[in-house]
Amino acid sequence: MNQHQPMKNSYKAVEVTSPGVFNLVERTITDPGAGQVRIRVDSCGVCHSDSVTVENSLPGIIYPRVPGHEIAGRIEAVGQGVVNWEVGQRVGVGWFGGECGHCEPCRRGDIVNCANLIVSGVTTDGGYAEVVIAEARALASIPQDLSAVDVAPLICAGLTTFNALRNSKLRAGDLVAIQGIGGLGHLALQFASRMGFHTLAIQRGKEKEKLARQLGAHDYIDSTEQNPAETLLKMGGANAILATAASGKSMGPLVGGLAPRGKLVVVGASAEPIEINATQLIFGSRTIQGEQVGTPIDEEDTLKFSALQGIRPMIETMPLDKAPEAYARMMSGKARFRIVLTMSQ
């Protein structure tokens, strides 16, 4: 929005009125409440987790609801009691929309696992809109040398893979395999290589080998030609395997390729069960763990590291009014690799 033009008292939003039904609407701009800010959205990523709202796959979703939890924009107004955030400041908001502060996980400092978590685009309206109201405690500051369209995927898909790698107690030079080169995997490859790991990509077919190496992979396994677990063991075993492909069936066999005390870190959401050989876990002290997003300060760490190391998502952009088409393209698996909605200013 041009600051020299008078501010409109309404904004466009794409809401889900009932499961699977999108509607482009005009909403009245409201003031942020205490502890909140109003953000003029520049971009919002379209993430597979948006299906939680669109398909009503979690209990308690109230319609109409505006999806979107990969939000980048500028603060337009601040509510009472908000400190350290100013009008005009570039900020992002991810899946984490604010903690309750009183449940047991919160009291133990584990706010990302808050039992009453505010989730952008799920429990509160999200970023498929020109304007969004957010809790100030959910904000992440955006480095000036990152564009809004790049920030959107980094604040969710980037954060998930960045945290998964840095929280796995790995050391520079460790062998780290990235399973899947998609919306998550193409970022994970960049993070892993920039963190100093011996980075290996696992993907069906040879088509993505060139891209994988351009993104930072030192080695490549075509899982249609090689057994990934056997190949990894010949290399001494992977210290960590980051499973980004949404296929539980393909994850289980990877455990056999872990080094002693290696871990399979699951970030690709799949409803399929992961079948494993228990003896492979017991003998070798191997583990399987899940990793989800992170806190706003984790988001800032992700953005700063990305800016420092030149890590960027591969994106397609679409205008806000094409949100239904963008969502359908993302769900079909045709996106290469993230879709970002851009707002008319």
| Domain membership flag for residue 27 | yes
Q: Say if residue 149 is in the same domain as residue 173.
A: no
Same domain assignment for residues 177 and 91: no
C-alpha distances (whole Å) from 66 to each of 53, 102, 254 are 8, 27, 38
Residues of the chain with pLDDT under 70: 1-7, 344-345
CA–CA dist 22, 19 (Å, integer): 8
DSSP 98-110: E--S-SHHHHTT-
Is 73:45 a contact under the CB 8 Å cutoff? no
Q: 151 and 42: one domain?
A: yes
Q: How far is CA 139 from CA 101, 212, 305, in A?
A: 16, 32, 17
What is the CATH classification number for the domain harbouring 14?
3.90.180.10
Phi, psi of 84 (to 5 degrees): 70, 5
> Which residues span the domain enclosing 227?
168-290
Q: Cα 52 from chain centroid?
A: 14
Helix spans in the chain (H): 51-54, 104-107, 148-153, 159-166, 185-194, 209-215, 228-234, 248-251, 278-282, 296-309, 323-332
Q: Domain check: are 112 and 176 in the same one?
A: no
CB 244 within 8 A of CB 180: yes
Two tokens, residue 88: 């005009």
Same domain assignment for residues 96 and 182? no
Residues 129 and 248 in one domain: no
* Residues 19 and 146 both lie in one domain: yes
Single-letter code of the amino acid located at 42:
D
Q: Are residues 88 and 175 in the same domain?
A: no
- Considering the domain boundaries, does residue 4 fall inside one? no
Domain shared by 78 and 172, yes or no = no
Judge whether 342 and 149 are in contact, CB under 8 Å: yes
Residue 295 belongs to some domain of the structure: no
Within-domain flag for 113? yes
- In whole angstroms, what is the distance from residue 117 CA to residue 123 CA? 8
pLDDT tens, 21-77? Answer: 999 999 999 999 999 999 999 999 999 999 999 999 988 999 999 999 999 999 999
Cβ atoms of 136 and 33 within 8 Å: the answer is no
Give yes or no: residues 127 and 213 share one domain: no
Q: Is residue 301 part of a domain?
A: no
Place of tokens 């107690």: 169
CA distance 3 to 323: 26
How would DSSP label each residue in 64-84? SB-----EEEEEEEE-TT--S
Contacts 24+ apart (CB under 8 A), 17-20: 17/63, 17/64, 18/63, 19/54, 19/55, 19/56, 19/63, 20/54, 20/55
User: Is 203 inside a domain boundary?
Assistant: yes
Q: What pLDDT digit, counting tens, does each position of 136-176 carry?
A: 999 999 999 999 999 999 999 999 999 999 999 999 999 99
Assign residue 241 the CATH number of its domain: 3.40.50.720
Q: Is residue 326 domain-resident? A: yes
Distance, in Å, from the CA atom of 161 to the CA atom of 186, rounded to the nearest integer, reads 10
- Burial classification of residue 109, based on how many CB atoms lie within 10 Å of its CB (0-12 exposed, 13-18 middle, 19 or more buried): exposed
Integer distance in angstroms from the first to the last C-alpha of the chain?
A: 4
- In a domain? residue 337: yes
Do 105 and 49 sit in the same domain of this protein?
Answer: yes
Estimate the crossing angle of helix 296-309 against helix 185-194, to 10 degrees.
70
- Other beta carbons within 10 angstroms of residue 172's beta carbon come to 8
Q: How far apart are CA 84 and CA 266, in angstroms?
A: 35
- Claim to verify: residue 239 and residue 271 sit in the same structural domain: yes
Domain count across the chain: 2
